Amino acid sequence: MSLLKRLLGKAEPDRTQSPDAAEPLLVNAYSTLRVAPPLDVLHKPVGRRDLSDPELAEHLQGFIGYVLGRGDGQMTAARYHLWRHVQRVHNHLSFEVATHDLAGIEIWGRVANAVFFLPDGSVRAPDMAVILSANGDSDPSAAVPYQEDAVKRRQRTRETLAGIAPQPPVSIPPAIGEAELVLHSPQDVLRRALALFYVAAQAQARSTGMAAIPAGQRKQNPVGAAAITPVEKTFLEARGSDQDAASAMTWRYEAANTLLWALGIDAADIGNSNRMIDVDLLWSSAKALALDGATARVQLRAAGEILDALDRTWLEHWIVRQARQKDMPLDRLNGDIVMERHVALNWLTNFQNDFGTSWDYTDTPT
């Protein structure tokens, strides 16, 4: 079926007609790429904005509400994939295009990893198949676009996790691709890692009744002590000794390890999801940065490595949560380690959260 017939239920226009006879269509395009490719199809621009425009975030929240509110509002696979797509949008373009140029729009939409919102209230895939109609219906053939490297990465992740039960369903979408990725700066990552080290060491001291190790001492870790969040500050300043809260906060060592791994620190390692880190060894590799973090020359690992870790940890966390719900034994995975890694990687990559979400409010949906 041609694009035009699929979209409007009409036959292809007569190509001999003059351009003035072409029927224009208003298209709102939502691309998840950091930099949207040039729209090299004949069109009339109406508007364009990216995340540097503060109004786009509010607009996207409204769009998510629209997606989740169509029809009966039940969470279907199509609605879930579309919701996650809108959450990752970097660029919103609005333009008018002649219906006989829709084939070019399909090509651009695939390259831009975009979905289209049309005047009939439908959200469309690049080929104009209906992902979600105004009434909440979906075309079973419609597919939300994903980046090729993200799809291949998911295949590798599944091979890595083969044999661990329960197995994640195929309906779980891949994570983000490199062209969609926005990372925190190396300096921000370092400060966050050292703050996590500081909080975990303080929590360990509270839990054991012993003095804090150097990582939890302000003089030994001034960078970390200065970078704590409001929630962490509330915990540290709380009177009394809430042992459960203190015990939970000691797991922040694993989150710190994850971020230090992302920075390429020698002793940091996330290869084994069932083995706790050696805190003393990790601190010995990071302590110099805690004293001189402002001028430290640190850089992040390659984007592909970080995304490999993100995709694997996301599915590992799904396995952990499902195993706990079903009271199944976990093989090769420590649930607490996986959870801390998921928080750290979601924060680092701005994944599954609105862009700019703070550490205290970073979510880990599975």
240 falls within a domain: yes
Q: What is the pLDDT of residues 179-195, one digit of tens each?
A: 999 999 999 999 999 99
> Any bridge partners for residue 30, and if so which?
92, 115
Is residue 267 helix, strand or coil? coil
Statement to judge: residues 334 and 290 lie in one domain:
yes
Statement to judge: residues 112 and 160 lie in one domain:
no
139 falls within a domain: no
Which residue in this structure is represented by tokens 């839990």? 207
Please, where are the H alpha helices in the chain?
Answer: 3-8, 54-69, 77-87, 102-112, 148-160, 186-208, 222-226, 230-237, 243-250, 252-262, 279-291, 303-325, 335-349
Examine the fold and report which residue of 87, 102, 132 is the final residue of a domain before the chain moves on.
Answer: 132
Please choose, from the candidates 147, 112, 176, 231, the residue with its C-alpha nearest in 3D space to the C-alpha of residue 349.
Answer: 176
Residues 6+ apart with CB under 8 A from 103: 3
Ramachandran quadrant class, 104 (left: phi over 0; alpha: psi -120 to 50; beta: rest): alpha
Statement to judge: residues 250 and 299 lie in one domain:
yes
Statement to judge: residues 229 and 340 lie in one domain:
yes
Confidence of residue 23 (pLDDT cuts 50, 70, 90): confident
86/81 Cα distance (integer angstroms): 9
Q: What is the pLDDT of residue 297?
A: 84
Q: In which element (H, E) is residue 28 found?
A: strand 24-31
The answer to whether the beta carbons of residues 283 and 214 sit under 8 Å apart is yes
Q: What is the pLDDT of residue 278?
A: 97
Statement to judge: residues 108 and 235 lie in one domain:
no
219 falls within a domain: yes
Rounded mean pLDDT, 304-314? 98
Q: What is the pLDDT of residue 296?
A: 74
Examine the fold and report which residue of 101, 132, 163 is the final residue of a domain before the chain moves on.
Answer: 132
Q: What is the pLDDT of residue 230?
A: 98
**pTM (2 d.p.):** 0.91
Confidence of residue 4 (pLDDT cuts 50, 70, 90): very low
Please choose, from the candidates 176, 230, 179, the residue with its C-alpha nearest in 3D space to the C-alpha of residue 350.
Answer: 176
Q: What is the pLDDT of residues 25-61, one digit of tens each?
A: 999 999 999 999 999 999 999 999 999 999 999 999 9
Q: What is the pLDDT of residue 6?
A: 39
Q: What is the pLDDT of residues 116-133, one digit of tens each?
A: 999 999 999 999 999 999
Statement to judge: residues 294 and 239 lie in one domain:
yes
Count of domains for the chain: 2
Rounded mean pLDDT, 338-345? 98
324/135 Cα distance (integer angstroms): 37
The answer to whether the beta carbons of residues 238 and 309 sit under 8 Å apart is no
> Any bridge partners for residue 28, and if so which?
94, 117
3-state secondary structure 85-151: HHHCCCEEEEEEEEHHHHHHHHHHHHHHCEEEECCCCCEECCCCCEEECCCCCCCCCCCCCCCHHHH
Q: What is the pLDDT of residue 292?
A: 79
Statement to judge: residues 40 and 168 lie in one domain:
no
Q: What is the pLDDT of residue 354?
A: 86
141/28 Cα distance (integer angstroms): 21
Examine the fold and report which residue of 70, 98, 132 is the final residue of a domain before the chain moves on.
Answer: 132
Strands ordered across the beta sheet of 91-98: 44-50, 91-98, 24-31, 114-117, 123-124, 130-132
Residue 206: domain span? 146-366
